[in-house]
Structure 1
Amino acid sequence: MESESKPGPATISIDVSLIRKVLRVGKSLLGVNCSQQPVVEAYQALYDLKLIARSKARKRRLEGNEYELLLNFFEQKEKHRSTVIPYRDIFNISLTTCLRISEVTSLRWLDLNSSASKILVRDRKNPNGSEGNHTEIPLLGQSLSIILAQPRQSEFIFPVNPRSVTAGFQRACKKLGITDLRYHDLRREAATRLIELGYTVEEVATVTGHKDLKILWQVYTRITPEHLLKKNINFV
């Protein structure tokens, strides 16, 4: 019997933050006489004991022939009648739009402007709240053709559960021997590809939805030495 994996310090840190938030609003919202101060005072000790820690910035991108391996795997998977999720198209749309998987599966036919090659993305994740944070993004590359190829089965273009997509993606990685690759890493891959193609950070931000360009630079873009070598810049 396999032992269950224990949550890491970064995960526990999130849990502690949630406990603190509940205690902070407990009196005003629930009428409970409580205080967040004990949690605040415990933070330094928890950090010193390494029981909690800040999450490390991810740098993983698609490497080598991983894109081709995954694409071929999804193509074979979709040949089975039991497969109802268009993994290939969702995989590619994630790489051409920089959207989170929850945003991809929330795209609606009503919000598509095919003549202008753009689409409205509703309730995008935002530090100040996602509700009502709608942004319109350009459909670059093959995005529009992928969308138009989908059957109109409901109001959503990709009417599937995002968790099912990520679970299927992880199963594919495991079978292919691809390690330490998460579905959300595709968002970084997509953003960095646009930078490498010559788009400015400001232009990429209109696609990713970032308001803070520093975050886009530090977290979602990772220019590799190999890319710079390909440009073969002559400094002489």
Structure 2
Amino acid sequence: MRRAGLKPRAQSFISKADAQRWIRQTEQELDRTALACDPTQLENTTVADLIVRYRREVTPSKRGAASEDKRLEVFLRYQWAKLPLSKATPQVFSRHRDIRAQEVSPGTIIREMGLLRAVFETARREWDIPLPENPLAKVKKPRAPQGRQRRLNGEELEWVLEAAQDTRNDWLIPCILLAVDTGMRRGELLNIRVRDLNLADALLTIPETKTGYARCIPLTERAVTLLRKRISAGSRPDDLLFPVTPNAFRLAWEHCKKRAARLHPDIKSLRFHDLRHEAISRFFEFGLSVPEVATISGHRDLRMLFRYTHLKPEDIRTKLQTATNRREAA
């Protein structure tokens, strides 16, 4: 059975009576769908139309608007963006997924598919676009890559700090140490303002986070000292402690790694975000509970928190042996 703008339906039966009964029921269902769905609208609206509108109305309100805007711009270059919605089937995006699998990582494909699905879902739910279903809903995503387990090894922190001393800026070393002590993200570090600090109580408020929820974190003595040095006598409450652009920070970090890698090649694989992994893992090794670590890190999903936690097996072995010895001695 075929209807314009709707997915064809087919079914096999042993008896003709059953087939005719299914025909009548299906026709009634399609008739009800047709009352709410204008096939001509799906023929006259392209995928690009949805992307452009989403880019104009929805993307600007997001914290990651800049990166999402670029991704949507890339979508508009694909041939499937020119298709009318009546032909935007799951198979179209399955083929796109398979082609992208030869070009980018599974994680990138998952993010792209998630964004496309959000575009179609917004069109269905908020823009009265009569799509019978979201074409991305039935497209199988590639298997998510295993989370990074990179931590600082041996004297890597000292090597990075030594290389950072050769830079002309005065903010890279404090940012590195603060990332290890607090587990803050790069964007959170660069957004610290004077008004966010309560150095008397060793607390820092992070009003804008990736999850959209503000949090207040405790500071180590070293972190308090580092942050206090960033405040001058003429500092105002709205002043940034690290007035650096994300791109400038990225370039400084990469140059620092290159200098360190001349003597220690293994450090090439270290990312700045790995310092957050290091910090969270250390929090657990210090004996903090799961709720306490989640309060500092800002994770609201414990599964994601444990993905950031990479305890060293040798440390667990030592704790286990110590506990066993105490029990036997008792």
TM-score of the pair, normalised by structure 1: 0.80
Decide which moves more: 154-163 or 114-123: 154-163
1:96 corresponds, among 157, 163, 181, to 181
- Name the counterpart of 2:285: 196
1:184 corresponds, among 273, 290, 296, to 273
Measure the CA separation in 1 of the matches of 2:162 and 2:288.
29
Larger C-alpha radius of gyration, 1 or 2? 2
2:315 aligned with 1:227: yes
Alignment CA distance shift 1:72-1:17 (3 Å):
same
AA matched with 1:21: A
Decide which moves more: 146-155 or 107-116: 146-155
2:160 aligned with 1:70: yes
Structure with more contact order per residue of length (Cα contacts < 8 Å, sep ≥ 6): 1
- Checking the alignment, whether the CA contact within 8 Å between 1:89 and 1:146 is kept in structure 2 is yes
Pairing 1:74-89 to 2, within 5 Å after superposition: 74-78=164-168, 83=169, 86-89=171-174
Measure the CA separation in 2 of the matches of 1:60 and 1:194.
16
Unaligned runs of 5+ in 2: 1-101, 326-330
More helix by share: 2
Measure the CA separation in 2 of the matches of 1:10 and 1:107.
30
- Name the counterpart of 1:161: 245
- Checking the alignment, whether the CA contact within 8 Å between 2:194 and 2:231 is kept in structure 1 is no
**Corresponding residue pairs, total:** 214
**1:31 offset after TM fit, Å?**
5.2
Q: What secondary structure, in the 3-state scheme, does the structure 1 residue paired with 2:174 have?
A: helix
AA matched with 2:197: L
- Name the counterpart of 2:28: none
**1:221 offset after TM fit, Å?**
1.4
Q: CA RMSD in A?
A: 2.4
**1:32 offset after TM fit, Å?**
4.4
Q: What secondary structure, in the 3-state scheme, does the structure 1 residue paired with 2:269 have?
A: coil
AA matched with 1:106: N
**1:166 offset after TM fit, Å?**
3.1
Deviations 1:40-78 (A, max 9, x none): 2332xxx5xxxx331322211111221111010001123
TM-score of the pair, normalised by structure 2: 0.59
Q: What secondary structure, in the 3-state scheme, does the structure 2 residue paired with 1:17 have?
A: helix
Deviations 1:205-230 (A, max 9, x none): 221122333432x2121111232355
- Checking the alignment, whether the CA contact within 8 Å between 1:108 and 1:155 is kept in structure 2 is yes
- Name the counterpart of 1:19: 116
Q: What secondary structure, in the 3-state scheme, does the structure 2 residue paired with 1:63 have?
A: coil
Measure the CA separation in 2 of the matches of 1:235 and 1:42.
51
AA matched with 2:220: L
Identity of aligned residues (%): 27
Unaligned runs of 5+ in 1: none
AA matched with 1:116: D
- Checking the alignment, whether the CA contact within 8 Å between 1:202 and 1:213 is kept in structure 2 is no
